[in-house]
Amino acid sequence: MPILKSEKFFQSQALVTQSAKIIVVAIAYLILGWFSTPFPVWFPAGLGLTALLLWGQVVGIGIFSGDFILNIILGETWEYGIVSALGSTLGAVVGLNCLRFFRFSPHFLSLKDVLSLVFWAALLATTINATLTTLLQFHHALSGSNLQLTWLMLWLGDSTGIILLTPFLLHLRYDWRTLWQPQSKWRLFEAFLCLGLLDSVGWLVFDAQKTKMDALMNHFSTTQYLEYLPFPFVIWAAIRFSTWGAVGANLLVVLLAMTGTAMGVGAFVLQTPNDEQAILLLQIFLMILATTSLCLAAAMNERQHLNSTLEEQVIERTLQLQEKIQETQQLSQMKTVFLQAIAHDLRTSTLGLSMLLKNLQNHSRDQNIFSGTNLDRMIQSSDRQLTLINALAEEQFSKQNLLSLHLQSVSLAEIVNDLSSDFTQIFEQNQITLKNKISPDLPKIKVDFQQIRLVFEHLLTNAIKHNPPSLEITLDATVEDHLLKCKILDNGVGMTPEQCQQLFKLYVRNQHNQRLTGIGLGSYQCRQIIEAHGGQIGVKSALSSGTQFWFTVPLAD
């Protein structure tokens, strides 16, 4: 029971609200129609359409009631009152549904909204009232030309009333807060200057008597298009002050033009002695003026909305980019931690093995556990692994962190001879033929002996590891542009162009090729060593055509 009572209460409250809206519309329509009767612009048409847009079709009853009562008060017959009220109501309802169909926005944010209001509500829907009212004139026995003129004036009166009043009321309803927003002094000065100039020009064109106009403007009083002088100021208001500027300028010009025409002065009266033709010219002028200014204001609204949308998109994309950068930094930090963890574990185990081997070296010379040569090679290999791991741990893979070099003038032949003697056993085991074409007469180079030896060691090891036995390796060197260019050539299986491009980068080798596995750390370190000396390193190779490694180092002074 309490639920039913609350539902009845809300239903009765909604009914009271609707009834109040209908009464308000009827009274407003009656009062506005009373004041609009002497003028050629029928403002109640704009009021009725606005009421339907705000409160729905139910307030059409108020339009019908207000129009009917107004006609009775003005002395029209009840038949004429019913037809006029029916035409006004049907025109407003048709205009409302057309605007809803085309998704009209009462904020006039786009040119489409203005064109929808002009074509569907102002030009199309108003033909209903003009047609019904004109048909009722048959009993007055009017001629065809008078009927046509009557229909045209009724239609233009309703159309101009919608175009002039509806945008003003809708903007007053939805955007009234913008009127109270603080503005700069220069903008207020510009607004008052624009309206003041428009009022002065409007008074001169529409309210000045012919004698005064002749005295001020000489022959301009007979100019046919004198009424378009206010256009620049209306355009100024529409462009600079958007919809508020357009509707405000329109209403000011309307008041000046209608009062002047009603008093029998102004440009329209001077152009023709016929009052009906003067009113017709006035209606056409007001429709063109209002449509132009509203279209300009809507175009400016579209531009501002587009600019704000672009700014929002730029801000959004900037935030997304910042998030991606932060994510990349986090991933980079995770990678660094991961590499440091691996390097730490590898260094610990390799360092322990190295200490054990050195301890065996100190005790094995008397006990003959290992031969001295084999033990030295195991220690050397362990030290090399420690060097590579330390390079990874210390992040010496960037150009900014160059290696610490101990430069000295040495002979390249000395480095190669020292290295080839250590590789003799490996060459014999793999049936490698070494051709050493490096002349001892070559100029000395200024390098770090151990680092350059490490480069030769890695390149030779790489050639042996990734080629079948019975390989032929050639060592050569030439002087080019104050640099010594060293070459290591083999007749092995070769490499693809993709492998050549990735060889001296820090990368993970192809996991599907058992002969090319692991991290490409050694080749990358070779590049770091050569570049630290101020040289370059590269490779030339093709499948089944062998490989040529080369690098350059500076000559000694």
**549-to-462, 504, 535, 537 alpha-carbon distances in Å:** 11, 11, 14, 8
3-class SS of residue 478: strand
CB neighbour burial string for 364-383, b if at least 16 within 10 angstroms, e if fewer: eeeeeebeeeebeebbeebe
Which pLDDT value is given to residue 180?
A: 83
User: Of 232, 251, 246, nearest to 113 (Cα)?
Assistant: 246
pLDDT tens for the chain, residues 1 to 557:
455 556 776 788 888 999 999 999 999 999 999 999 989 999 999 999 999 999 999 999 999 999 999 999 999 889 899 999 999 999 999 999 999 999 999 988 889 999 999 999 999 999 999 999 888 876 555 545 578 888 999 999 999 999 999 999 999 999 888 888 888 999 999 999 999 999 999 988 887 665 455 545 554 445 566 788 899 999 999 999 999 999 999 999 999 999 888 888 878 887 777 888 889 989 999 999 999 999 999 999 888 888 878 878 888 888 888 888 888 887 776 676 666 656 655 665 566 566 666 666 666 555 555 555 666 666 666 666 666 666 655 554 444 445 678 899 999 999 998 888 878 888 888 888 999 999 989 999 999 998 898 899 889 888 888 888 889 999 999 999 889 999 999 999 998 888 888 888 765 444 444 344 444 567 878 888 899 899 999 999 988 889 999 999 999 87
518: left (phi over 0), alpha (psi -120 to 50) or beta: left
Q: Which amino acid is at 553?
A: V
Angle at 125 between CA 152 and CA 58, to 5 degrees: 135
**130-to-68, 83, 91, 135, 156 alpha-carbon distances in Å:** 16, 10, 9, 9, 9
Q: Which amino acid is at 338?
A: F
Which pLDDT value is given to residue 477?
A: 94
Say if residues 228 and 288 touch (Cβ distance below 8 Å): no
**172-to-49, 163, 166, 306, 458 alpha-carbon distances in Å:** 15, 15, 10, 24, 83
Say if residues 295 and 119 touch (Cβ distance below 8 Å): no
Which pLDDT value is given to residue 505?
A: 76
Q: What is the gyration radius of the CA atoms in the chain, in angstroms?
A: 48
Tokens 């200024």 locate to: 446
What's the token pair of residue 190? 């510009």
The total of other beta-carbon atoms located within 10 Å of residue 353's CB is 16
Q: What angle in degrees, to the nearest 10, is found between the helix axes of 43-55 and 78-101?
A: 50
What's the token pair of residue 467? 């080629």
Q: What angle in degrees, to the nearest 10, is found between the helix axes of 2-36 and 43-55?
A: 170
Which pLDDT value is given to residue 370?
A: 54
Say if residues 297 and 245 touch (Cβ distance below 8 Å): yes
CA distance 428 to 432: 6
User: Of 23, 30, 265, 289, nearest to 159 (Cα)?
Assistant: 289
User: Of 240, 296, 313, 309, nearest to 110 (Cα)?
Assistant: 296
DSSP 416: H
Q: Helices in 267-409 by DSSP H: which ranges?
A: 267-271, 275-367, 372-393
DSSP 545: S
482: left (phi over 0), alpha (psi -120 to 50) or beta: left
3-class SS of residue 546: coil
**Contact residues for 375 (Cβ-Cβ < 8 A; gap 6+):** 357, 360, 361, 364
Say if residues 489 and 547 touch (Cβ distance below 8 Å): yes
The domains located in the chain, with CATH, are 15-305 (no CATH), 408-554 (3.30.565.10)
Element at 453 (helix H, strand E)? helix 449-465
pTM for this entry: 0.59
Which pLDDT value is given to residue 90?
A: 96
Q: What single string gives the DSSP state of each residue in 198-233? A: HHHHHIIIIIS-HHHHHHHHGGGGG-TTGGGTTHHH
Of the CA atoms within 13 Å of residue 10, those in its CB half-sphere come to 5
What backbone torsions phi and psi does residue 438 show, to the nearest 5 degrees? Answer: -80, 120
Say if residues 504 and 537 touch (Cβ distance below 8 Å): yes
Beta strands at 472-480 and 483-490: parallel, antiparallel or unpaired: antiparallel
What backbone torsions phi and psi does residue 138 show, to the nearest 5 degrees? Answer: -60, -35
Say if residues 351 and 390 touch (Cβ distance below 8 Å): no
DSSP 439: -
Say if residues 492 and 433 touch (Cβ distance below 8 Å): no
User: Of 104, 77, 268, 257, nearest to 170 (Cα)?
Assistant: 104
Q: What single string gives the DSSP state of each residue in 481-541? A: TTEEEEEEEE-S----HHHHHHTTSS-BPPTT-TTS-SB-HHHHHHHHHHHHTT--EEEEE
